Amino acid sequence: MLRNPSSAGGSHIVAGSLAEAESIAVLDHLTGRKWRQDTIKGGAVASIHGLAIGDALGYPTEFLDLAALTRRYGSWRQLELPVQDGVARVSDDTQMTLAVIEALAEASLDGVSAVTAATVEPALRKHFVAWLRSPDNNRAPGRTCLDACAALERGVPWQEATVLPSKGCGANMRVAPVALLPGLTAEQRAGTAQLQAALTHGHPTALAASDLTAHAVWLLAHNCHPSELLPRLRHYGRTARRTYHGDWLGDLAQRAGAADPAAFIAHGWDETLAALESVAAALAQPDPERDPCEVAGGGWIAEEALAAALYCFLLFPEEPVAVVQRAAFSSGDSDSIAALAGAFAGASVGGPAWPADWVRALEYGDRVRPLVAPWDTGHTHARWGGPGRGTAPGRRA
């Protein structure tokens, strides 16, 4: 594991868990089975690599306006991965994504049929709290995530811990792994995507945007052509608009003061679908030099981060590096926008998406690959009876 060189030590990984594996060999011992080492070239690993690369590119550019970006970097195409002492440092976006990966690995130990609210919620709680207390948690984390995770640590029900009015992009910046775990049903995928958001962000738009972000990653990993992406996302959102996943969300809508759970979630879908339309309108006259935040807003809230990231991806669907460069060179929440854009590009293009030297430099890369690599062959971490199996994401020719 490559850790923050400035940290006093430690990490947000829970001691004794699967993410403590330093190598494939150690993971074999922990899980009791053999993992293929050639699985790192598929779409799941490429998507998480893309998320981390986008995050690392956007972390230093966040909070800079376009004038400052231009003075410092010149053109957006001149952005290079910032590497110091051999490490490309990431922000809380990637750190919390790793927490979700670890939680999913635990929840699916007995196969994907075991992935329910009852198994996912305590796993997420544990790893979100571990992130909260990590000495590496010094990367400008969002206040909503900090406050909600502190409440989760106190052991209160998550519906009390969450920040009900918040729809910040912390909700969906970390959701990509939910789309990449193979074999989940559509209900499991939607429920897990919304639940992982709801533990910290209780606004219905945070839930809908997280669900739609995960669905975008899932579609791209399963051969959706980029030209079909917006129409399919629009259809998904309209179909899901009044579906409140009560088995996963419990009484969240009631706690938020909504008399009708269906109306509660419909509000979130309406805002998220409206953000999609801003992307479609901008792509009618695409301008690679336009600040993505002029198209979608600053990206500080969940639906705007999704929209800005989709815009960058759809500008350059066959140029993954250009996707994350354009996303990181933006005047808003650059690391979250670029992280999501990188996740989309990696899921779509697959293994060849990213420069090898960039991948080697990624902080936490040696931790994430053993956990995510099996997903590219349709395997999950199953404790007994062999691996859980699902449909591995395919690659476009």
What is the residue whose two structure tokens read 């959706």? 224
Residue 333, both tokens: 């929440």
Longest dimension (CA), the chain: 58
Closest Cα partner for 111 from 199, 185, 216? 185
First to last CA, the chain: 33
What is the chain's alpha carbon radius of gyration, rounded to the nearest angstrom? 19
| Residue 81 backbone dihedrals phi, psi, to 5 degrees | -60, 125
> Which has the closest alpha carbon to 357: 109, 105, 88?
88
Q: Is residue 242 helix, strand or coil? A: coil
Contact 221/47 with Cβ under 8 angstroms?
A: yes
Give CA angle at 383 (93, 178), nearest 5°.
25
Exposure string over 171-193, b if 16+ CB within 10 A, otherwise e:
bbbbbbbbbbbbbbeeebbbbbb
pLDDT at position 42 is 79
Are 51 and 386 in contact by the 8 Å Cβ rule? The answer is: no
What pLDDT is stored for residue 380 in this prediction? 76
Q: What are phi and psi of 201, to 5 degrees?
A: -125, 110
Contact by Cβ (8 Å): 137, 92: yes
Are residues 184 and 221 in contact, defined by beta-carbon separation less than 8 angstroms? no
Q: According to CATH, what is the number of the domain 91-312+361-389?
A: 1.10.4080.10
Give SS3 for 317: coil
Cβ–Cβ < 8 Å for 309, 58: no
Distance CA 195, CA 245 (A): 9
Q: Reduced to 3 states, what is the DSSP secondary structure of residue 86?
A: coil
Q: In terms of Cα–Cα distance, which of 61, 109, 80, 90 is closest to 1?
A: 90
Euclidean distance between CA atoms 358 and 75, whole angstroms: 20
pLDDT of the residue at 381: 58
Contacts of 295 (CB under 8 A, 6+ apart): 278, 279, 282, 307, 308, 311
* Whether 205 contacts 301, CB under 8 Å: yes
Residues sharing a CB contact under 8 Å with residue 333, sequence separation 6 or more, in sequence order? 62, 169, 298, 299, 300, 305
Distance CA(396)–CA(182), nearest Å, equals 18
**Distance separating alpha carbons of residues 13 and 164, to the nearest angstrom:** 27
Token pair recorded at residue 331: 């005047």
Q: For residue 90, give the 3-state DSSP assignment.
A: coil
> pLDDT (tens digit, 0 to 9) for every residue of the chain, 397 residues total?
232 323 333 444 454 444 444 333 433 444 343 333 333 347 999 999 999 999 999 999 999 999 999 999 999 999 999 999 999 999 999 999 999 999 999 999 999 999 999 999 999 999 999 999 999 999 999 999 999 999 999 999 999 999 999 999 999 999 999 999 999 999 999 999 999 999 999 999 999 999 999 999 999 999 999 999 999 999 999 999 999 999 999 999 999 999 999 999 999 999 999 999 999 999 999 999 999 999 999 999 999 999 999 999 999 999 999 999 999 999 999 999 999 999 999 999 998 999 999 999 999 999 999 999 999 998 875 332 333 333 333 322 2
Per DSSP, 354 falls in state S
State the pLDDT at residue 379. 82
In the DSSP assignment, the letter for residue 6 is T
Q: How far apart are CA 42 and CA 382, in angstroms?
A: 20
Residue 14's pLDDT is 52
Structure tokens that stand for 167 in this block: 């729809």
Helix (H) or strand (E) segment spanning residue 47: helix 43-58
**pTM of this structure:** 0.87
In the numeric block, the tokens 């926008």 are attached to 337
Q: What is the pLDDT of residues 5-55, one digit of tens each?
A: 233 334 444 544 444 443 334 334 443 433 333 333 479 999 999 999 999
Domain assignments of the chain as residue spans, ordered by start: 91-312+361-389
User: Strand, helix or coil at 88?
Assistant: strand
